[in-house]
Amino acid sequence: MKLTFLILAGLLTVPLLPAETTSQDNFQQIAQRLRESALRKIAPQILAPSSYRPGFNRFPWKQNIVTTVFWIGETPTANNPVPNHKSSWDQQWARNYGGYDDPDPSRRKNFIPTKFTPRQNPFYIALPYNDVTRGKTKPEARKVIPWFKQAHERPGQSVVKGRWIAIRYRNRICYAQWEDCGPFRTDHWEYVFGNERPRANLNQGAGLDVSPAVRDYLGMRGKDVTDWKFVEANDVPTGPWSKYGENNTFVLKRRGANLFASDRNNAYGVKR
């Protein structure tokens, strides 16, 4: 005859040896081991994956955003009337970058142009808001930009230039820095920091411009649909976006630079 031992109200049922062959001491030892085994199985498990980034969910995803590709040195076209030799914050953008960021895939390798090594991060984006106009900080900036208080140093200095964002396309996520304003608008804070959708424009309501490096990493088809969100610099993993650029938070950290002097808009989001 077999003896059945129940643990924790039926959570575990285990057949034991016939009672006549099992001593009382052995029975108690087996019972104790079974109880401990059952408790281990039902105890709550806490998983701490190595990729856990506590601040990553601070900002929500902007989903299903029409996304277009632009590049430093781009000349005006019907759907992009503004030349990209300069940016909203850098009058010598192409020169400071190091040259023409050729979007032709045959003239690129490892996410950069084959003719030169960029002096700024090749992973850059544009969003349709500028917090500065005519050398003055816009009145709403203090209220709508979540990190304004931490990053603000003086009137007329942007607190959004260089901030990191995550861009998601299908099953890939890329990271890039905010280095220009567009598409088309520089005043749509209700979308960039709020809940509005991008407004109608010549590019089917595009709300995000990305560089050729971002396009290539994500495998975009040119104009496409992506999701994006702001991220703190400390929540950006290393990758091809962390290799190049005098404006790159990762490069500055490797050089031991004082981020509050050289990259203030990201300094509060970096472990020191």
Residue 49 covered by a domain = no
Pair 67, 30 in one domain? no
pLDDT recorded at residue 222: 87
Mean pLDDT of all residues in 103-121? 98
Torsion of CA 169, 175, 178, 183, to 10 degrees: -10
- Tens digits of per-residue pLDDT, 66-99? 999 999 999 877 666 677 889 999 999 999 999 9
pLDDT for the residue 19: 45
**Which pLDDT value is given to residue 239?**
98
160 inside domain:
yes
**Average pLDDT for 194-219:** 96
Phi, psi values for residue 150, rounded to 5°: -70, -35
Share of the chain above pLDDT 90, in %: 71
Beta carbons within 8 Å of 47's beta carbon, 6+ residues apart: none
Q: Do 28 and 105 fall within a single domain?
A: no
Residue 84 near residue 95, CB atoms below 8 Å: no
Contact 173, 165 (CB under 8 A): no
| 54 domain-assigned | no
Residue 96 shares a structural domain with residue 30: no
pTM: 0.78
Look at residue 60 in the predicted model and tell me its pLDDT. 96
Q: How confident is the model at residue 10 (pLDDT cuts 50, 70, 90)?
A: very low
Look at residue 128 and tell me whether its pLDDT is greater than 70. Answer: yes
Average pLDDT over residues 129-133: 97
If asked whether residues 26 and 150 sit together in one domain, one would say no
CA distance 128 to 62: 14
Whether residues 71 and 174 fall in one domain? yes
What is residue 11's predicted lDDT score, i.e. its pLDDT? 40
15 or 100, which is more confident: 100
Residue 228 lies in a domain: yes
**What pLDDT band is residue 175 in, cutting at 50, 70 and 90?**
very high
Here the CATH number for the domain that contains residue 171 is 2.40.40.10
Residues 129 and 236 in one domain: yes
Q: Are residues 30 and 125 in the same domain?
A: no
Q: What is the number of domains present in the chain? A: 2
Whether 232 and 189 have beta carbons less than 8 Å apart is answered as: no
- Give yes or no: residues 32 and 104 share one domain: no
Distances (CA, A) of 58 to 54, 62, 169, 254, 266: 8, 13, 20, 26, 15
Task: Clarify whether residues 149 and 211 are in a common domain.
Answer: yes
In angstroms, what CA-CA distances link 208 with 100, 183, 218, 223?
21, 6, 14, 10
- Residue 57 falls inside a structural domain: no
Is residue 151 in some structural domain?
yes
Question: Which residue has 């969910």 as its token pair?
Answer: 57
pLDDT of residue 75: 86
Q: Would you say residue 272 lies in a domain?
A: no
Q: Is 20 a member of any domain?
A: yes
- Give 13-61 pLDDT, tens digit per residue: 444 444 444 455 555 555 556 555 554 443 333 333 334 455 667 899 9
Query: How confident is the prediction for the chain on average, in pLDDT?
Result: 85
Mapped to the 3 state alphabet, what secondary structure does the chain carry?
CCCEEEECCCCEEEECCCHHHCCHHHHHHHHHHHHHHHHHHHCCCCCCCCCCCCCCCCCCCEEEEEEEECCCCCCCECCECCCCCCCCCCCCHHHHHCCCCCCCHHHEECCEECCCCCCCCCCEEEECECCEECCEECCCHHHHCCCHHHHCCCCCCCCCCCCEEEEEECCEEEEEEEEEECCCCCECHHHHCCCCCCCCCCCCCCCEEECHHHHHHHCCCCCEEEEEEECCHHHCCCCHHHCCCCCCHHHHHHCCCCHHHHCHHHHCCCCC
Domain containing residue 31? 4-42
Measured CA to CA, the distance from residue 258 to residue 252 in angstroms comes to: 8
* Same domain (yes/no): 33, 168: no
Q: Are 100 and 223 part of one and the same domain?
A: yes
Say how many CA atoms lie within 13 Å of 228 toward its Cβ.
32
| Whether residue 193 sits in one domain with residue 150 | yes
* Mean pLDDT lowest among 43-47, 112-116, 117-121, 138-142: 43-47
Instruction: Check: CB of residue 27 under 8 Å from CB of residue 5.
Output: no
